[in-house]
Amino acid sequence: MDPEFGKSLDTSKNSWRTSLLLAYQSLGVVYGDLSTSPLYVYKSTFAEDIQHSETNEEIFGVLSFVFWTLTLVPLFKYVFVVLRADDNGEGGTFALYSLICRHARVSLLPNRQVADEALSTYKLEHHPEKNSSSGVKLYLEKHKVLHTALLILVLLGTCMVIGDGVLTPAISVFSAVSGLELSMSKEHHQYAVIPITCFILVCLFALQHYGTHRVGFFFAPIVLTWLLCISSLGIYNIIYWNPHVYQALSPYYMFKFLKKTRKGGWMSLGGILLCITGSEAMFADLGHFSYSAIQTAFTFLVYPALILAYMGQAAYLSQHHHTSYQISFYVSVPESVRWPVLIIAILASVVGSQAIISGTFSIINQSQSLSCFPRVKVIHTSDKIHGQIYIPEINWVLMILCIAVTIGFRDTKHMGNASGLAVMTVMLVTTCLTSLVIILCWHKPPILALFFLLFFGSIELLYFSASLTKFTEGAWLPILLALFLMTIMFVWHYATIKKYEFDLHNKVSLEWLLALGPSLGIARVPGIGLVFTDLTSGIPANFSRFVTNLPAFHRVLVFVCVKSVPVPFVPPAERYLVGRVGPAAHRSYRCIVRYGYRDVHQDVDSFESELVSKLADFIHYDWHRSQHSPHSEEDVSHSNESTSECRLAVIGTVAFSGTPAYEIEESMQPASVSIGFSTVESVTDVIEMEPVHAVERRVRFAIDDDSESDVRTNMELQLREELQDLLAAQEAGTAFILGHSHVRAKQGSSVFKRLAINFGYNFLRRNCRGPDVALKVPPVSLLEVGMVYVV
C-alpha cells in the first residue's frame, strides 16, 4: 500500500461523506458471503436432524437462534470489540498475532532487531504499565512452549480460512443455482445444477488474473440490490403470511426448541451457524476500509436486511408445512419474481465467492511473508489498491478443490457441515487471540478478557461441538485440509528457523573478511556484489564458502538482509537500514531491507537501483556526520582502520539534504579511540557515555582554522573517491550471490524430524519458487553457492 495514499485516506476517514462512500464500497467486498447465507441456512438446518411440524416450534426456535446468533457474534463481538483490535488499520488473524508479538516477546520469527521497534508503524497501544497484565505477559514470555502453541493456533486459523476459500464458493454458487429445481423436473434438475455450478466456478477462477478491481465497480450494486431484494421479500412474507412472527425473536423459543428436539436440535445447530459465515471478513478486510464504514454498513443495512430475510422465510414456512427436502429459500419467493431473484442470487454468490478467494490469496501472501508458507508467485493486479493480488498456483488448486467438493458432495447439507466447522474454528481462534490483545495490548484487567473468552467462546464452542458431530457427513473435509496445510506450514517454518540458527552459529568474524587480500591470493574484481543472507550482523557462511572456492569478490560488497517485521506496512522512508562493514576503504556495507506482512516487494531492477541510491545517500550522510563531528585527520584515518561494524542508519526516500537520519546502535562493537593531537590547543570538554552494550568516549576539542580546512578538504576528497568507486562498480555490473541450500537432519534425530526435514522440507523447497526466482534475478547476474545445512 502506498503510505501517502494511506495517510490521505486516514485524514479523510473522519468525514461522514467518506465513511458513507466506504460503507457503500464495503458491501461488495466484505458482505457478499454473509448476505448470501439466507440461501442455505434453513435448508441445511432442516436437512435431516429436525422436522418442520404443524406446531411451528421448530421453525420459530431456529429463527430465534438465528436472530440471537447474528446479534451476539457479528454485531456485538465483531463490530463493537474485535474491529477495534486492528494493527495499524489492518485486520485478520495475522494482524492479531503481530499485535501480540509487538507487546510481548512471543514471536518465533528470526533476525528480530531492537531497531524494528523504532518504526513508526511499530506503535504500541499503550505504554507498558506495571499492572495485572504484566503477570500474563511474563508467563507467556517465560514458557517457550506457549510461543509454539500460539503460532500453531494462528496457523490453525489460517488453514481454516484457506479451507473456507474452498467451501464458500462451492456452497454459495450451488445454493444459488439450486433455485432451478422449482422450474424443472427432478430428473432434469439433478443433471443440470452440478454442470452449471461447475461452469460458473471455472469462469470465476479463470477471471481471477484480471484482478477484482476490474469488476469491483459492479460488486457493491449487486450486493446492495440483493440486500434490498431479500429484505423486501422478507417484509412481504411477514405481512402476507404471518405478521406475528416477530414474537419468535424471544429467547424463550430457543429453550422451547431445544426442549422439544433435544439431541436433534443440538445437532441442527451445525446448519444454524451458517447464518454467520462471512462475519470474519468484516475483520479480515478492515484494511481496505475504515472501522466506521464497516460498522455503519453492517449495523444500518446488512444486519436489518438479514433479520428481515430470515423472519420472512420463517413467516412463509409457518404457514406451509412441507417435507424437509422442499424447504429452501426459493419456495418463499413469489413465482412472478422468481427468475429475477435467481439471477441476482447467482451474481451475489459470485461476489461473495470472490471476496473469500481474494482473502485466501491475501492470507497466503501474509503467511509467506512471515516464513510460514513456501514461496509462491504473487502478482499484484492493481497499482492503486493495496492487497489486490493473484496467486496462480493457489488459484488453480482452489478451483480444482471447489469443483471436487461440488461433484463429490452434490448437496447443501454436506457442504454446509464442512463450511460450518471451518467458520467456527476461525471464530474460536479470533476469540482466543482477541482475549490476549485485551490483556497485553489494551492493558485491561484479565477478568474482562476472561469474561470475553468465556461468553463468546461458550457460544462458539456450542456450535463447534454440533459441527463436529457431522464429521462423517462432510465436516471431515476442513479438518483434513487443515491438517495437510498445517503440516506444510509448520515444517516450512521449523526448517526456516533451523536454517537461521545454523547461519547464526556458523558465521565468520569481520577480521576474517578484512584479512582477505592480495597476500592471500584474493582479488577484488569490478562491480557490486550483493550477498543475500538472513543475518543482520556478521559475515554469512555462504560468503566464506564462495571466497574459498572462487578466490575473488567484488570491489563493492553489500551484505543484504531482506526481512519481515511484525507490522502490516513499513514506510519506504524507513525501509532501509544501511551501515559500513569495516573501514570505509574496504568498500563493504550492510543493508537491511524491512518489509511488513502486507507490503509489496520490489522487483530486482527497481531494488538494485534504489539500493545503490541508498548507499550513495548513506556515504553522503556518513561523511557529513564525520565532518560535523569536530576531530582531526589522524582520528579519521584511525577510525577508517577500525575492524568493527559501524552503526546502522535509516536512509529515507528523500534525497540527501544534509539533515542526518536517525541512527540505530545495537550489537555493535565499540571502537577504542586514542586521541593525541599536536595541534590541539585546548580541550574544551570530555564526555564519557555508557550505552547499554558498550562504552563510547566522545571527545570535543578545538583546532585551528588551517587544520580544520585541511581535514575537510581531505574528507571531501575521500567522499568523492568513494562515490566514484560506487558509480564505477554500478556501471561494471551487479552480481547477486545467493545460497543454494540443502537441509539435512543431524545424526541421531527422531524419525519424525528426519521425515519432516529430509523429505518434507526438501520436497517443498525443490517444488516451490527459489529465492532467485522470487527476486527475479537475471540468470546472467546470478551466483549460487551450494550449502548443506545440518540441523
Assess contact for 287 and 387: CB atoms under 8 A. yes
Give the integer Cα–Cα distance in Å for 174 and 163. Answer: 17
DSSP string, 328-353: -GGGGS-GGGHHHHHHHHHHHHHHHH
Tell me whether strands 648-651 and 576-580 are parallel, antiparallel or unpaired. antiparallel
All three cell numbers of 28 = 461488495
Q: Which amino acid is at 396?
A: W
pLDDT at 246: 92
Nearest CA among 450, 429, 357 for reference residue 162 = 357
Residues of the chain below pLDDT 70:
1-14, 49, 110-111, 124-133, 183-190, 212-217, 322-325, 382-387, 602-605, 627-646, 653-708, 710-712, 774
- Cα dist. 564→110, 113, 595, 737 in Å? 9, 11, 5, 20
Burial class (CB in 10 A: 0-12, 13-18, 19+), 138: exposed
All three cell numbers of 733 = 555490473
DSSP 8-class letter at 601: P
Nearest CA among 490, 579, 569 for reference residue 536 = 579
Q: 406: left (phi > 0), else alpha (psi -120 to 50), else beta?
A: alpha
Beta bridge mates, 199: none
**Which pLDDT tens digit goes with each residue over 315-355?**
999 988 765 447 888 889 998 999 999 999 999 998 888 87
With helix as H, strand as E and coil as C, how does 522-554 read? CEEEEEEEEEECCCCCCECHHHHHHHHHCCEEE
CB atoms within 10 A of CB 181: 19
Give the integer Cα–Cα distance in Å for 387 and 370. Answer: 16
Give the integer Cα–Cα distance in Å for 754 and 760. Answer: 9
Helices (H), ranges, 530-662: 541-549, 604-627, 633-640
Give the three-state DSSP class for 469: coil
First to last CA, the chain: 37
Give the integer Cα–Cα distance in Å for 625 and 735. Answer: 30
Q: Which amino acid is at 557?
A: L
Give the integer Cα–Cα distance in Å for 777 and 277. Answer: 42
Give the integer Cα–Cα distance in Å for 214 and 223. Answer: 17
Assess contact for 703 and 742: CB atoms under 8 A. no
Give the integer Cα–Cα distance in Å for 746 and 754. Answer: 8
* Residues constituting the chain: 791
Beta bridge mates, 784: 738
Tell me whether strands 552-564 and 588-595 are parallel, antiparallel or unpaired. parallel
Assess contact for 650 and 662: CB atoms under 8 A. yes
DSSP string, 745-783: PPTT--HHHHIIIIIIIHHHHHHS--HHHHTT--GGGEE
Assess contact for 389 and 362: CB atoms under 8 A. yes
Q: 92: left (phi > 0), else alpha (psi -120 to 50), else beta?
A: left
Nearest CA among 389, 385, 437, 349 for reference residue 92 = 437
Question: Using CA atoms in the order 627, 632, 637, 642, what is the torsion angle rounded to 10 degrees?
Answer: -80
90-128: string of b/e by CB count within 10 Å (b at 16+)? bbbbbbbbbbbbbbbebbbbbbbbebbeebebbeeeeee
Give the integer Cα–Cα distance in Å for 576 and 570. Answer: 10
CB atoms within 10 A of CB 247: 13
Give the integer Cα–Cα distance in Å for 742 and 545. Answer: 14
Q: Which amino acid is at 768?
A: C
DSSP string, 413-464: HHHHHHHHHHHHHHHHHHHHHHHHHHHHTS---HHHHHHHHHHHHHHHHHHH
Biggest CA-to-CA distance, the chain = 108
**Which pLDDT tens digit goes with each residue over 197-225?**
999 999 989 988 877 655 556 788 999 99
Helices (H), ranges, 118-143: 132-142
- Cα dist. 95→88, 386, 525, 597 in Å? 9, 16, 45, 9
- Give the CB-side neighbour count of residue 395, counting CA atoms within 13 A: 19
For CA atoms 296, 234, 329, 225, give the dihedral sign: negative
Tell me whether strands 782-790 and 734-744 are parallel, antiparallel or unpaired. parallel
Give the integer Cα–Cα distance in Å for 113 and 565. Answer: 9
Assess contact for 184 and 192: CB atoms under 8 A. yes
Assess contact for 163 and 359: CB atoms under 8 A. no
DSSP 8-class letter at 87: B
Q: Which amino acid is at 58?
A: E
Q: Which amino acid is at 219?
A: F
Give the integer Cα–Cα distance in Å for 451 and 46. Answer: 33
- Cα dist. 739→489, 549, 564, 612 in Å? 22, 14, 19, 22
All three cell numbers of 438 = 485485551
